[in-house]
Structure 1
Amino acid sequence: PLSPPNIPNIIIILCGNKKDLDADREVTFLEASRFAQENELMFLETSALTGENVEEGFLKCARTILNKIDSGELDPERMGSGIQYGDASLRQLRQPRGAGPAQIKQQCNC
């Protein structure tokens, strides 16, 4: 049987593809969903043909990573965390923890 790697803080989304070919399916939604739940994976069924849930998989992954950064579980500044900020100019777009809209507006030079 397939088992996911045991790596802390890794984000894995199990994507069942070809959702549009329901008649040809080999694994039921329930089987896949149960496997994902037992292995602490997120689960989506997708279709590249219709586009259903394709973008949602990437968005779910990104949201989960951002939530882990906000909660302090992940630190992009720490070597070996598996994530890092991109271009330094983009770092300024990230809202500081605890900063409300009023604080952000004060920092704005527009």
Structure 2
Amino acid sequence: MGSSSEQQSSGNYDFTFKILSIGDSGVGKTSLIASFISAFSQYSAPTIGVDFKIKFLTVGGKRLKLTIWDTAGQERFRTLTSSYYRGAHGIILVYDVTLRETFTNLSDLWAKEVELYSTNQDCVKMLVGNKVDRESERAVSKEEGIELAKELGCTFIECSAKTGQNVQQCFEDLSLKIMEVPSLLEEGSIVGKRNILKQQPENLAAPPPIGGCCA
């Protein structure tokens, strides 16, 4: 979960967005997030249930707070789906370019789940082909990825959580796309202002007025 130090530094941002990462177990969702959060790649144990990380960044001249949700791809955690998808502004659909099954499952399984559970009709979706550092083992071409992204109404990018290639760009591009949608921008702004006000009760109550009379 996000650390207290991250939460304490969250008073200064313009928008806050909820980002989901979905796809089969083992495609590198957790490593992708770890690479973005830490700016270097990490090997992670399979995620059990749901976890989230917080990342602050500046994109398009705006300071953003991204709450990035990671989930296990295993079937036994399917009961988490409805709450997991609720209020999402962006969804990253991840597959492994070396495993065709993870690619076909995005259209056969995960995209249908997004349609079923996503509460934000304007939610921005991004198709991400991970593990391009293993080019010699590639089983899904970039062209196929682009074509599926068109079918699903997603933007598209290929990256490598291991080397960091295109990882920062993935999240920055998604954030920019979210900020192009007025309804999502408004929602992210409202939540952001609410959080900032919550953190400043002392500032709102002080200092006491100087002079004047008491009512």
Aligned counterpart in structure 1 of residue 167 of structure 2, from 41, 44, 54:
54
Q: 1:46 to 1:77 in 2, by over 3 A?
A: closer
Matched with 2:191 is 84
Question: Which structure's relative contact order is higher, taking Cα pairs within 8 Å and 6+ residues apart?
Answer: 2
**Number of equivalent positions:** 82
- 2:61 aligned residue: none
Offset at residue 65 of structure 1 (A):
1.4
Residue identity over aligned pairs, in percent, reads 27
Taking the aligned partners of 2:160 and 2:177, their CA distance within structure 1 comes to 22
Deviation at 1:84, TM superposition (A): 2.9
**Where does structure 1 differ by over 4 angstroms across 4 or more consecutive aligned residues?**
none
> Which amino acid is the alignment partner of residue 76 of structure 1?
E
Change (3 A) 1:52 1:59: same
1:9 aligned partner, one-letter code:
D
Equivalence for 2:183: 73
Structure 1 or 2, whichever has the larger Rg, is 2
Provide the secondary structure at the position in 1 that maps to 2:132: coil
Relative to its length, the structure with more helix (as a share) is 2
Query: Taking structure 1 as the reference length, what is the TM-score of the superposition?
Result: 0.63
- Which residue number corresponds to residue 176 of structure 2? 63
Measured after TM superposition, the shift of residue 23 of structure 1 is 1.0
Work out whether residues 132 and 160 of structure 2, in 8 Å CA contact, stay in contact via their aligned partners in 1. Answer: yes
One-letter identity of the residue aligned with 2:176: R
Contact 2:133 2:160 in 1 (8 A): yes
Distance 1:16 1:77 in 2: 27
Q: Which one-letter code corresponds to 1:26 in the other structure?
A: A
Q: How does 1:25-36 map to 2 (within 5 A)?
A: 25-36=138-149
Structure 2 residue aligned with 1:11: 124
1:77 Cα deviation after fit: 7.1
In the superposition, relative to structure 1, how do residues 16 and 77 fare at CA in structure 2: closer, same or farther (>3 Å)?
A: closer
CA-atom RMSD, angstroms? Answer: 2.4
Point out the structure with the larger strand share.
2
Q: Which runs of 5+ in 1 are unaligned?
A: 90-110
Per the TM alignment, residue 20 of structure 1 is displaced from its structure 2 partner at its CA by 1.1
